[in-house]
Amino acid sequence: MSDPRVFRVPSGPVDLAAIPTDATPGFKGGKRDGKAALFAMGDELADLQERLFAEGRATGSRRRVLLVLQGMDTSGKGGTLKHTVGLVDPQGVRITSFKAPTDEERAHHFLWRIRRAVPEPGYLGVFDRSHYEDVLVARVDRLAEPDEIERRYDEINAFERELVDDGTVVVKCMLHISKSTQKERLLRRLDRPDKHWKYNPGDLSARAKWDAYQAAYARMLERTDTHDAPWYVVPSDRKWFRNLAVGQLLLETLREMDPQWPPADFDVDAERARLLAES
């Protein structure tokens, strides 16, 4: 798969309708090839992630990765966690799934609960939904005034700038699906008793506001795609491609960070001698 930075949101006004949901840019091949390619990247991804973890444990490095997953219902945030994030050692992963805020969370600034979930050095943190809900559902359902929403974009940019300054590489993915794909997936959830638990009648209310959500996503992309914390729009109608594309983004991110095994901060030969000298 070629450089996944082809998914970087274009600068300027964003027209999501013009970005295909079912394309497979940068990859020649079908479902079977895509699954094989994801599997094939597993070892390198796991190795790089373990090096980053080692660096965080054994050195004073503050580097870490934060992957933010956003998308409409059924866009595959959970599937990406399972199939892509699931490729690496779970010891080094911190997943936080953000639900509707609790009363306690609501009593605080919207970034309060987000800050508490920022991964520690060495970790791959993943946000399944995030602070972006506070400019998406909040905008669509008018849970906050337009002025407040505008302020939030700026606060988010400042917050992510802080994260980056503190050693976090921030990768933000919008899992982009079509309205008809969502319909298929919701019908499938209804057809399969083992998927009923994932279905919520409230999902149809959000679906009824599809266009308003797309507009809110577009505005979010325009206002919060920054050099420090870029947004990628990942065509997600094909699950295998979505998993592969997010995997490739993680892989390129880690390759660029190029974490190294920490050098020994002790005398290796002396330690070996101590061990071998045991009675």
Considering the complex, what minimum distance in angstroms separates the CB of residue 271 from a second copy? 6
Closest approach of Cβ 278 to a second copy, in Å?
7
| CB-count exposure of residue 63 (10 Å: 0-12, 13-18, 19+) | middle
Provide, rounded to whole angstroms, the least separation between the CB of residue 48 and a second copy.
12
SS3 label, residue 31: helix
Nearer to a second copy (CB atom), residue 51 or residue 139: 51
Q: Decide whether 82 or 151 has the Cβ nearer to a second copy.
A: 82
**CA 267 from centre of chain:** 40
With respect to a second copy, which residue has the nearer C-beta, 24 or 80?
A: 80
Residue in this structure with the two tokens 């800050």, named with its chain if needed: 115
| Other Cβ atoms within 10 Å of 59 Cβ, number | 16
At residue 175, what are phi and psi to the nearest 5 degrees?
A: -85, 110
Please say which residue, 55 or 160, places its beta carbon nearer to a second copy.
55
Shortest separation between residue 261's beta carbon and a second copy, angstroms: 5
Residue 82: alpha-carbon gap to chain centroid: 12
If 0-12 CB within 10 Å is exposed, 13-18 middle and 19+ buried, where does residue 209 land?
middle
Answer whether 41's CB lies under 8 Å from 249's CB: no
Q: Give φ, ψ of 2 to 5 degrees.
A: -80, 175
Residue 12 or 266 with smaller CB distance to a second copy: 266
CB of 190: closest distance to a second copy in angstroms?
5
Q: Which is nearer to a second copy, 11 or 279 (CB)?
A: 279
CA distance 100 to 140: 14
Q: Which is nearer to a second copy, 18 or 268 (CB)?
A: 268
Q: Rounded CA gap, 216 and 210, in Å?
A: 10
- Shortest Å distance, C-beta 197 to a second copy: 4
Residue pair 124/91 in contact by the 8 Å Cβ criterion: no
Applying CB under 8 A, the residues found at the interface with a second copy are 54, 57-58, 78, 81-82, 85-86, 89-91, 93, 95, 97, 128, 183, 186-187, 190, 193-194, 196-201, 204, 261-264, 266, 268, 271-272, 274-276, 278
Detail the DSSP E strand segments found in 147-222: 168-176
Minimum Å gap between C-beta 34 and a second copy is 20
